[in-house]
Amino acid sequence: MRRLTVRHARPHDTERVVGIERACFTNPNPTLLANVCGMVDGFLVAETDDCIAGYVLFTPSSAEDARVLSLAVAPGNRRQGVATRLMRGAFDVLRGRDFDAVSLEVRVSNTAAQSLYDGLGFLPVGVEECYYDDGEDAYLMEKEL
């Protein structure tokens, strides 16, 4: 893996981030990403050789807790530690803002993502039935910071 840097997203990252979103999700939301890229502190990108390899978008869900809205790594950059570095970057930002915990939803069929989150210390705390547009359930996972 080339040198990887995690940093806050900037407006000029929008096109690449939207491309990753479209490549990674069956129901992408490029409008959301385009509207917040570089505009919120809870949007980090992983960059290698001036190329965006992935992103994570997170937001407060209460005064003490945050929620990961989206995490994606470009197909050519997977299984190289990019998602782990992005999530650890998000944890650092959230700890710096005195958040106590972070949560996320993950498809019940996405065992690779579940393994990633488990390795990062997330614990399953429930199931959100029919969470996704296609009717698939999601596991709700949480991590104490």
Cβ 63 vs Cβ 19: under 8 Å: no
Ramachandran category for residue 51: left, alpha or beta (phi over 0 → left; psi -120 to 50 → alpha): beta
129 is catalytic: no
**From 105, 128, 136, 142, the catalytic residue:** 105
Q: What single letter denotes the amino acid at residue 10?
A: R
131 is catalytic: no
Supply the DSSP symbol for 76: G
Burial 35-44 (b: 16+ CB within 10 A, else e): ebbeeeebbb
**From 47, 55, 117, 139, the catalytic residue:** 117
Which amino acids are annotated catalytic? 105, 117
